[in-house]
Each structure stands twice: as structure tokens, then as C-alpha cells.
Structure 1
Amino acid sequence: MTNKKTWLKWCLAPTLWVSDTYKKSATSSANRGIRVKRLNKIYFGIALSIWGILFLWGQVAGNMPPLKVVLIFIPLWALSRVNEIFMAFIKDVFDKLDPSRRSKNGLEYFDRIGLALRSFMELTIQYAILYFILDTYYLQYGFHGGLFNQPIESPFTALYVSLITIASVGYGDYVPVHPLARGLVMYEIITGFLLLAVSFTVYVSLDLDEKEAP
């Protein structure tokens, strides 16, 4: 049963296999904590770099080259990271709520808050990448129209849509009209809310409890 769950997680988030393999090779809990923080920064840097490349290419060339095979892997990678972040923080929160499974793994609670904040920013970028590539380069080949009521013309616009979605603002200028867009928007709201509200609440409260304990 455990193996089936592991394989299911790896199918939903292939990047999770890379992360787990890297963290399991740690020599101590302190080293594991260092590796977790390093991975968090690396993945955030990769997401920011991909978004930056898409943005700069659009500014220089006006549109992306028709490299459909390459562009298939970018949204798959982005979705894998979204799933990995969601599963990792949900597991960590439940572990922290259970005293018998509560271990710091070399991370203080303020470290975890920093990881959650960087992951929140990465989620915003990953969803922006998904919205932009899917709306611009894939749905146009199989469906009439795009994901939203108006085209997402640039990565910057996609980042704006992602930010107002994950922050649950929603000005109404971009409305998801395709079922895929509606599913992604709902998933982004859920992941963003749980990451910020749930993990921050748990980490801060547990940190205060430990400091106040005699």
C-alpha cells in the first residue's frame, strides 16, 4: 500500500522523486534541513528564470517559436511543482499537528515560514506559466478560443491573473471560461489558501507554544 501511494505521488509530481532522493541522501537532520532550503531556492529560481525567458522572448521576438515538443514539458513541469508543493506542505502540517510525528528535520519554524512564503511566490509564477502557455500555444490548436474571456497576451499578464487569483481578489477583467481554466483557478485558490493560512497558522502557533513552554 505504501509503495502504491509513493508511485501515485510520483506520478502526480515527478519532481517529488528528485526532491525525495536528494533529501534522503542527507547525512543528518541538520544537513536535511539545508538541502530542503537549497531545493526551495533552486526551484524558485528555475520558475522565475522560465517566466523571465518567456517574458524577454515576447519583448524581443513578439511571440514564442513553434517548439511545441519543448513547450509541452514546461507546463508539465509547472504542474508537477504545484502538486509537489501542495502535497509537501499538507504532509508537513499534519506531521506538526501530531506530537508523535513532530520532528524539525533541521528546520526551525521561522525557517518553515520562509519556505512557505517562497513556495507561495513560486506557486504564483508556476500558475502564470501554465496560464500563459496553455492559453497561447495549446488550446488554440484543439479548442475555439482560450482559457479566459480574453487572450492572455504576455507572461506579465499571466502573472497578474495568477496573482489576483491566488490572492482571491478577482477584479473581473479576466474570467475563466474553459473547464480547464476553471479547474486550474480553483486549484490555485485552494493551494494558495492552504499554503498561507493553514501552514502559517500552524507554524506560528507551534513556535509560540515552544517558546512559552517552561
Structure 2
Amino acid sequence: MNARYLAVGATLAGIAFVASHHGAGMVDWTAWWPVLAPVAWYLLSRCNEVFLAFYLDAFDKLRVNQRPSSALAWPTRVRLALNSYAELVLNFAVLYAMTPADWWQCGAQRPTSFTDLLTYSALTITTSGGGGFVARHWVPQLLTVYEVMCGLMLLVVSFTIYTGRGLSKRAATHLGKG
């Protein structure tokens, strides 16, 4: 299902990309909110699901002397985490694209296309900065903070635990053979 969710995120991002590049810059989605509200709900629920699933799974791996609740191998966990990471970048970019343009900083640094918001999302989730854009309204500000939290959960907590555990098992296996 992870790959399907990533495909849905990519499809929605593709639609937002085409819509923003077909017209003259950012699309004003405010008139479309009755139709797009279920899409926004889906995107937010997927972000919540990814965050919670990896949060619970990462801490499940840290339990001492207890069997893990899942038998997934560490390479599979890493692949799922990377797919989910890419999905989060796309989902947040589409959510940002659904916000009105005046919710972003006025002047030359206002995002003008979906590509700008995709870049903002990718830079935000890595906590390296927003690419010069600043959210003025509380909705994109809250989304930005939540995206940073999701990125930290996937990269720092989950990815570190998965690779650390997987590499330690691999090292133990090689030491046992030598």
C-alpha cells in the first residue's frame, strides 16, 4: 500500500503542477474548497498516519527484551520510510498549494508556482530552510511546523533506528562467521 499512497501523492502533485503552470502562476483554490476539502482531509490524514506509524514503530524497536510487533526486515523498513518521506514532501506541497497566495509573504519572495511550493516542502522537511518563502497566515505556519516534525520523525528517529539496528545485526552476523 505504501507505493500506492506514494503514487496518489505524486498524481495530486502532478495535477497541482499542471494547474499552476497552465495558468499564470499560483491557482486561487479558494472557490474550489468545497470540492478540495476531501482532498485536503486525505492529505492531512496520510501525513498523520505516516507520522504515527513510524513513531510507534520506531519506539517499538527500542523496547528491550520484548518481541517487536512486526516482522519486517530492516531494509524493508528503510524503503518504506524513504517512500513515506517522498510522499510527505508531495503531500505537504499540495496542501501549501491549496492555501491562498496572500497567506505567504508579500513581495518578491511569494511563491509563484507549484514548483516553488514543492521546493519549500522539500527544504522544510529536511529542516534546511524554506527557500526564502515565509508563511504569514497561521495555517501554512502550522503545516510548516508539522512538516518539520514529520521529517524529524522519519529521518532522525525511524531511519536512524532502522539502519542502526539493521547494521548492528549485520555486523553481529559477520562477526559470528569470522
For residue 159 of structure 1, report the CA deviation from its aligned partner: 0.3
Aligned partner of 1:146 in structure 2 is: 103
Question: What stretches of structure 1 of length at least 5 have no aligned partner?
Answer: 1-38, 137-144
The answer to whether the 8 Å contact 1:54/1:64 transfers is no
Whichever residue aligns with residue 178 of structure 1, its letter is H
| Matched residue SS, 1:84 | helix
| Matched residue SS, 1:174 | coil
Alpha-carbon separation, structure 2, partners of 1:156 and 1:194? 25
Aligned partner of 2:68 in structure 1 is: 102
* Residues 179/68 of structure 1: CA separation in 2 closer, same or farther (3 Å cut): closer
Aligned partner of 1:44 in structure 2 is: 6
Alpha-carbon separation, structure 2, partners of 1:91 and 1:200? 13
1:84-105 Cα shifts (integer Å, max 9, x gaps): 0000000101111114141443
For residue 64 of structure 1, report the CA deviation from its aligned partner: 6.5
Give 1 or 2: higher helix fraction: 1
For residue 71 of structure 1, report the CA deviation from its aligned partner: 1.3
Alpha-carbon separation, structure 2, partners of 1:210 and 1:104? 16
Aligned partner of 2:77 in structure 1 is: 112
Identity of aligned residues (%): 33
CA RMSD in angstroms, aligned pairs only: 2.1
Q: TM-score, normalised by structure 1?
A: 0.70
Whichever residue aligns with residue 202 of structure 1, its letter is I
Whichever residue aligns with residue 60 of structure 1, its letter is H
* Residues 133/171 of structure 1: CA separation in 2 closer, same or farther (3 Å cut): closer
Question: What stretches of structure 2 of length at least 5 have no aligned partner?
Answer: none
| Matched residue SS, 1:100 | coil
1:59-111 Cα shifts (integer Å, max 9, x gaps): 33444674332111222111111110000000101111114141443x21011
Paired residue total: 167
Q: How does 1:22-171 map to 2 (within 5 A)?
A: 39-62=1-24, 63=27, 66-98=31-63, 99-105=65-71, 107-136=72-101, 145-149=102-106, 150-170=109-129
